[in-house]
Amino acid sequence: MENRLRVLRATRNWSQQDLAGRLEVSRQSVNAIETGKYDPSLPLAFRIAELFELPIEEIFVSPSRRSSKAI
Amino acid sequence: MFAAWRSDFTPAQRAHTKRVLWLLLAYAIVLPPLVWVRANTAVAGYIPLLMAVVAALPVLGIFASWGRYLSDETDEYHQAMTLRRIAIATNATMGAAVVWGFLQAFGVMPLVEAYWIPLVWVVIQGFQACFGGSSTRGQND
C-alpha cells in the first residue's frame, strides 16, 4: 500500500530507528511499511496516524481509491 | 554479527536464538554417546525407546521455542514474516517428503531416515531468510 510515511518522517527529521522507537516496533517494520512490502494492522495504522496527528487516509493511500483514479 | 544481534534483533528474537543455541548444544552433547551405545552394545527392551526419546527431546525443544517465539513476538511484521516462512517451508518439506516417499517405495531412491525432514524444513527457512527478498538490511535512513 502506497503511503507518505517516509515524507512525513523526513519533515520531522526522524530516522527509521527514531520512528520505530516511537511506534514501539522494529526498524525493519518501519522500512517494510515505507517501501510497501508490508501493510500495517489497523491498530498500528492508528498509532502511526496518532503519532503524526493526521487521519489515516492522509498517510496511507487506499488501494481502491488508487485504482479508481487510474480508471 | 554481534552488532546485528544487539540492534536488529527484537527481544523475542534474541530470547529464541539463545534458547535454540542452548538446545543445539544439548543435542550435540547428548547424541554422540547415545549413538555409540546403540552401535556398540546390545541394548534391548525399553532402553532403545528411551534413548530415542532422549535424542529427540532437544529438537522438540527447538520446535517448542518457535511456538514460544511466535507468541512472545510483539512486532507484527516479524511475526508475519516468520509465519510466512514457516508456511512455505512446511508446504515445501511435506511435498518433498511425499515425493521422496513414493520414489523410495518404487525403488527409485534409497531410504532416508525421517529425522532429516526437520532439517530440510529449517534449511528452507534459512534460504528464505537469506534470499526471500524481505531483507531490509542497509536501508536505514
| ipTM for the whole complex | 0.83
Residue A57 DSSP class: G
Sign of the CA dihedral with B24 first, then B28, B29, and B31 last:
positive
- Flag whether pLDDT at B117 surpasses 50: yes
E-state strands within A1-46: none
Written as one string, the DSSP assignment of B40-109 is HS---TTHHHHHHHHHHHHHHHHHHHHHHHHHH---HHHHHHHHHHHHHHHHHHHHHHHHHHHHHHTTSS
* Integer Cα distance of B93 and B118 in angstroms: 8
Say what the pLDDT of residue B2 is. Answer: 54
Q: Do A26 and B139 touch (CB under 8 A)?
A: no
Distance from CA of A15 to the nearest CA of B (A): 6
Chain B residues within 8 A of A41 when measuring between CB atoms: 76
The pLDDT tens digits for B80-91 are 999 999 999 999
Local confidence band at B136 (pLDDT 50, 70, 90 cut-offs): low
Of B44, B32, B27, B4, the C-alpha closest to B137 is: B4
Local confidence band at A52 (pLDDT 50, 70, 90 cut-offs): very high
> Could you tell me if B136 lies within 8 Å of chain A, comparing CB atoms?
yes
Say what the pLDDT of residue B8 is. Answer: 77
Q: Do A25 and B77 touch (CB under 8 A)?
A: yes
Distance from CA of B62 to the nearest CA of A (A): 24
Chain B residues within 8 A of A25 when measuring between CB atoms: 75-77
Say what the pLDDT of residue A66 is. Answer: 60
Say what the pLDDT of residue A71 is. Answer: 43
Q: Which of B2-6, B12-16, B43-47, B124-128 has the highest mean pLDDT?
A: B12-16
The pLDDT tens digits for B23-54 are 999 999 999 999 999 999 988 889 999 999 99
* Integer Cα distance of B33 and B48 in angstroms: 13
Say what the pLDDT of residue B80 is. Answer: 94
- Flag whether pLDDT at B64 surpasses 80: yes
> Could you tell me if A16 lies within 8 Å of chain B, comparing CB atoms?
yes
Which residue, chain included where needed, has cell 496516524? A49
